[in-house]
């Protein structure tokens, strides 16, 4: 059973009636999947927001219907108000608990860079990674320890991600997630130093009259 739950009620309001629904603090949702007819429902706006904050955007969620029905779902899409950013609609995909799903999961950096790393900047190449797992095994996020990075090991790739029971990472193993690169200031300093060395190696070209030669001709 999932630890993430939300209560829902069947919804009859459609079209323009949905605006009043939102004003009353509810969010219209659609539950679909597994060959079943889509179910129009509604959930409390604050409850949905809390659900998203604690992992509901990626993990399995139990939707408890007011009539006693239960749906195991994955959140497929949340539409938000363009100004207030509050949720105004959501799609719930009803899943078969015995069938693996392919979903993106956020990547989170933990730990701290070594103090010995100077003049380098940490870049995150991927904000999430694609995984395959049973619905009940999907993690809320994947923690990556960046303290292992050094000048010798300057990147963490998909292949370096920690093993999680029941989870298979998809995609290219050599795709970088976190990388260390030289900072702009450090790069500019190196370029200036190289330019100075080049100038010092070049012999100056002297342009002018040869007075001795001119005197000989006179």
**What domains appear along the chain, each with residue ranges and CATH number?**
5-95 (2.40.240.10), 102-201 (2.170.120.20)
CA distance linking residue 52 with residue 43, whole number of Å: 13
| Intervals of the chain under pLDDT 50 | 186-187, 189-190, 192, 206-209, 211, 213-218
Question: Quick one: pLDDT at residue 14?
Answer: 82
Determine how many CB atoms are found less than 10 A away from the CB of residue 109: 16
Question: Quick one: pLDDT at residue 207?
Answer: 46
3-class DSSP state for residue 110?
Answer: strand
Assigned token pair, 18 = 């949905």
Is-above-0.85 flag for pTM? no
Question: Quick one: pLDDT at residue 97?
Answer: 95
Question: Quick one: pLDDT at residue 119?
Answer: 85
Cβ atoms 140, 53 nearer than 8 A: no
Hunting for tokens 């009043």 — which residue is that? 20
Of 126, 155, 154, the residue nearest 142 (C-alpha):
126
Question: Quick one: pLDDT at residue 191?
Answer: 52
Residue 15 backbone dihedrals phi, psi, to 5 degrees? 60, -135
CA distance linking residue 142 with residue 163, whole number of Å: 10
Starting at the edge strand found earlier in the chain, the sheet holding 142-145 runs 142-145, 101-110, 128-133, 168-169
User: How remote is the C-alpha of 197 from its chain's centroid?
Assistant: 43
Question: Quick one: pLDDT at residue 218?
Answer: 44
CA distance linking residue 33 with residue 56, whole number of Å: 18
């Amino acid at each position: 059973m999932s630890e993430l739950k939300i209560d829902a009620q069947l919804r009859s309001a459609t079209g323009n009636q949905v605006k009043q629904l939102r004003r009353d603090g509810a969010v219209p949702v659609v539950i679909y999947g597994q060959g079943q007819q889509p179910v129009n429902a509604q959930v409390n706006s604050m409850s949905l927001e809390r659900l998203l904050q604690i992992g509901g955007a990626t993990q399995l969620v139990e939707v408890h219907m007011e009539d006693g029905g239960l749906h195991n779902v994955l959140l497929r899409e949340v539409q938000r108000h363009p100004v207030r950013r509050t949720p105004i609609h959501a799609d719930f995909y009803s899943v078969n608990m015995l069938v693996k799903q392919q979903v993106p999961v956020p990547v989170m950096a933990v730990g701290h860079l070594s103090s010995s790393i100077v003049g380098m900047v940490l870049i995150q190449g991927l904000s999430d990674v694609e995984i395959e797992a049973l619905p009940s095994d999907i993690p809320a996020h994947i923690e990556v320890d960046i303290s292992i990075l050094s000048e010798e090991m300057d990147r963490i790739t998909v292949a370096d991600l920690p093993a999680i029971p029941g989870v298979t990472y998809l995609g290219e193993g050599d795709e970088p997630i976190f990388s260390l690169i030289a900072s702009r200031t450090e790069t500019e300093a190196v370029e200036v130093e190289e330019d100075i060395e080049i100038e010092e190696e070049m012999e100056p070209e002297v342009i002018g009259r040869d007075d001795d030669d001119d005197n000989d001709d006179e």
